[in-house]
Amino acid sequence: MLSSTSQTTATVQSAAKRPLFAASSGTFIEFFDYGSYSYLATTIAAVFFPPGNPTVALVQTFALFALSFAMRPIGALFWGHFGDRIGRKRALALTIIGIGLATTCIGLLPGYATIGFWAPVLLVLLRFLQSFCTAGEYTGAAILVVEYAPADKRARYISSVAIGCAVGFLAASVVSTLLNGLLDEDAMNTWGWRIPFLLAAPMTLVGVYLRNRIDETPVFRAAQEKGELAKLPLVVLFREHWRALLRTLAIMGVNATGYYLVLGYMQTYLEVEVGLSGFEASIIMTTSLLVYLPMLYGGAYLSDRFGRKTMLMANAVLFLVLSYPIFLLLGISGFAAAMAIQILFVGIFSLNDSTIACFFTESFPAKVRYSGSAIPTNVGVAIFGGTGPLVASWLIAQTGDNTMPAFVMMFVALIGAVALIFTKETKPTKAEAAALNAATAEAEAKVH
């Protein structure tokens, strides 16, 4: 065991920098795709579904989006077991390839006008593959970072994964803004929409290169050397940690719904319900995402200082109180007011998104960490996130009330707040952080 605290800190911080880009590369691709699908939803609806009622086509587009999330729980079981048994690095090497391959193939698909019924069918199948691989991506990337990071700065280091997601959404917003501004409707429907999906190919090659250059995490290596890995991690997880699974699932609902409503669906909402042009809506989304990036790191800093539970509860309460006023004001807003309101919305969400990955990884021991994080994350996304835009669109269509998305957000925030009441703080104490840092430094010393 290293005796010098300063040497231990230097060793851990040096090791922790290596996986940051490798981890965030996959989440960037994952959310670049999700952002592209959300921001180009009206175009995708026109390309892949028969002509007719545009509202029905839009609901069908989001229904397909939600349907693909059915693969997330299945993928969570597979990648959770794989990541806990074989290692974090090996799992992540495969997930990024699957995501990149499926996304690229979507960009090559012919539309409904060319192959009819098979266009949406093939789109569904590719999104199934994408979702299956995505189930192990975000979780694995977060674990890769947290098992290298200094224990007292985990949230700040792991924010790189959330920032990778946000930058992916931002890049998708920038690309969709440029496409909407430069191309007319015919060009967008013919070939313009394909560009974001085809960009996944070179992005994936870079991500694979980065991930092949990192080592397995010191925490996993140490558990492997000591024979502490579970032979059947899923059995151990459901037998010994089922309460933590239920709590994290309830809390994940807030994050999943928030992500796909606040950062994804809002592009469509601003166009269809507020009446802004596609270009104006894209400008708002791009600007709010630019502001969101420093908010994520700021939220992570606060999480390392005040704790995970405090940040998550603050987010849930603010969503409960402010969601309805936000959507009410959006319905009567012009461009400038909508911009300010959306920035407020992402600011509230950043309190959750800067913290939740760290909270999940700290909620489960290393031997079931991949499974324990993957299952509630992906089941939560499947139940709440994938269906969020669909439910919001359907409620508006049924009631004619464009504040309906607020009630979706308030519902999941209430569930999350109740779960947090029964949740203990997971942020390590100073003594625990020192012990964890020493163990990481010792494991690194054996390899390097």
pLDDT digit string, tens, across residues 191-236:
999 999 999 999 999 999 999 888 899 899 988 988 989 999 999 9
Cβ-in-10-Å burial (0-12, 13-18, 19+) of 195 comes to: middle
Which residue in the block uniquely carries the two structure tokens 């558990």?
Answer: 223
Q: If phi over 0 gives left and psi between -120 and 50 gives alpha, with beta otherwise, what is residue 428? A: beta
pTM attached to this predicted model: 0.86
What is the amino acid identity at position 312? Answer: L
12 domain residue, yes or no: no
pLDDT of residue 9: 57
**Each residue's pLDDT tens digit, 34-51:** 788 877 877 888 888 777
228 domain residue, yes or no: yes
pLDDT at 82 over 50: yes
Q: What CATH number has the domain bearing residue 283?
A: 1.20.1250.20
Domain count, the chain: 1
11 domain residue, yes or no: no
Which structure tokens are listed for 336? 């400038």
Question: Smallest Cα–Cα separation from 300: which of 355, 248, 245, 244?
Answer: 355
Question: Smallest Cα–Cα separation from 271: which of 350, 342, 347, 222?
Answer: 342
13 domain residue, yes or no: no
* Residue 64 belongs to domain spanning: 19-447
3 domain residue, yes or no: no
14 domain residue, yes or no: no
Rounded to 5°, angle at Cα 385 from 379 and 386: 90
Q: 142: Cβ–Cβ under 8 A, 6 or more apart, which residues?
A: 23, 158, 161, 357, 358, 360, 361, 373
pLDDT of residue 441: 66
Averaged pLDDT for residues 118-146: 91
Averaged pLDDT for residues 397-417: 94
pLDDT at 2 over 50: no
Least confident segment among 22-36, 294-308, 315-329, 418-432: 22-36
pLDDT above 70 as % of the chain: 92
pLDDT of residue 267: 85
- The count of other CB atoms within 10 Å of the CB of residue 225 is 11
pLDDT at 178 over 60: yes
pLDDT at 98 over 90: yes
